[in-house]
Amino acid sequence: EGEGKGRKRGRDDEHWGEKKTKLSTGMQSAHDVLNDKKLAKEEAVDSGEMRRVAAAAAASKRLREQEAAAAAAEEEEWGQNKDKEEERGEERRGKRKEEKARCGERDKAYAIETDEEEEDKEDSEPEMGRERDSDLLSSSSAAASSSTTAAAGKSRKLAKDYQEERRKELEVMRHEAGGKKSFGKIKVDLQVDDADLLKDWQVARERFLQRRRQVGDREKDTLTKLNRFTQVLRAAKTSASRTEEGTGKEGKVVNKEKIEKEEEKEEKGKKEEEREEEEK
């Protein structure tokens, strides 16, 4: 019996050992499966995060490239505009220099011709004095007088032509500098100080501001006239109603005095407004 119990206990121990081994193996495999799932999940999260980071980095890089390209294009455009402005300034300065040179050449030519005529006159006088022959004297005097007359006529013509050209040039310059332009029903005299030193867009802006100020002044003047007209109408209506309300001799005298006072106030207001307009 003892041996039988021992064998049975041994078989039970072996059976329990097998079950324990199977249980431990199953637990280990389940744990491994969970670890594998956890690792797979972490890898998926890491890969997704890496993809998002890579996409954000690529987008940031593209944005920086676009900003750099836009800045380069803007700088290039600014450089081109600056070159154009410098070219326009050079052209304007060149035109002014040419104009000054032409004026100087005309003045110089006129002065040289005048000096030559005076020298001819001075040289001709002693020569005519030394000539004793009456025929030669008469002929030389006639030739000298004719040459002097021709030279004087030529100098007068040159001076007249020069004055006419200068007058036309001044008219053109005055028209270009002050060019009156219509704005509504008023004439706006556009004047910009140091226009040659400003750029085209700066001159245009100054002229626009002048127009806007002029229009604002015109609107203020119109509103002032409307207010004045309304006050006159109200005063006339009030004076008429007071005249109708006054009864008896005393009432008429009082109403008349009030009307005269109101008329005096209106006249004073008109005179002050006229004085302000004259000052403007």
Q: CA-CA distance, 221 to 215, in Å (whole number)?
A: 10
Q: CA-CA distance, 117 to 152, in Å (whole number)?
A: 8
CB 255: neighbour CB atoms within 10 A? 19
Residues 6+ apart with CB under 8 A from 231: 266
Identity of the highest mean pLDDT range in 140-144, 193-197, 259-263: 259-263
* Chain segment 119-154, per-residue pLDDT in tens: 555 555 555 555 555 555 555 555 556 666 766 677
Q: CA-CA distance, 27 to 20, in Å (whole number)?
A: 10
Q: How many CA atoms lie within 13 A of 225 on its CB side?
A: 7
Q: CA-CA distance, 77 to 85, in Å (whole number)?
A: 12
Residues 6+ apart with CB under 8 A from 110: 155, 158, 159, 162
> 251: pLDDT confidence band, cut at 50, 70 and 90?
very low
Percent with pLDDT over 90 in the chain: 0
Q: Is the pLDDT of residue 20 over 80?
A: no
Q: CA-CA distance, 106 to 158, in Å (whole number)?
A: 9
CB 134: neighbour CB atoms within 10 A? 8
Q: pLDDT value at position 208?
A: 83
Q: CA-CA distance, 84 to 91, in Å (whole number)?
A: 10
Q: pLDDT value at position 5?
A: 52
Q: Is the pLDDT of residue 249 over 60?
A: no
Q: CA-CA distance, 279 to 274, in Å (whole number)?
A: 9
> 113: pLDDT confidence band, cut at 50, 70 and 90?
low
Q: CA-CA distance, 280 to 277, in Å (whole number)?
A: 5
